[in-house]
Amino acid sequence: MYDKLSLINSSLKRTSNNPVDFEGDDSPEWLVMDDAYETELPLLIERRDWGFASTMAAMVRVGASDDPRFADAFAKPVGCLHLKSVTVNDVPAIYDIIDNKVHCTAGAYVPMARFIRIPSADQWPPTFLETLRLKLMAHAYRGLNEDTGEAERTDAKAEAMLSEAATRTGQEKPPKAMVNSKLRAARRIRRG
pLDDT for position 166: 80
Q: Which residues of 64-91 are buried (b: 16+ CB within 10 A; e: fewer)?
A: ebeeeebebbbebbeebeebeebbbeee
pLDDT for position 49: 83
Q: How far apart are CA 4 and CA 12, in angstroms?
A: 12
**DSSP letter for each residue of 50-62:** -GGGEEEEEPEEE
- The rounded average pLDDT for each run of 10 residues, N- to C-terminus, in the chain (192 residues) is 90 95 92 96 90 94 95 95 94 95 95 94 92 97 95 96 80 61 65 54
3-state secondary structure of 63: strand
For 103, counting Cβ atoms within 10 Å of its Cβ (0-12 exposed, 13-18 middle, 19+ buried), the class is buried
Q: How far apart are CA 100 and CA 174, in angstroms?
A: 32
Q: What is the residue type of 93? A: A
**DSSP letter for each residue of 77-103:** PTT-SEEEEEEETTEEPP-EEETTEEE
The structural domains of the chain, with segments of one domain joined by +, span 4-50+120-170, 53-116
Q: How far apart are CA 11 and CA 134, in angstroms?
A: 7
The whole-model pTM stands at 0.79
For the chain, first and last CA: distance in Å?
55
3-state secondary structure of 177: coil
Q: What is the residue type of 35? A: D
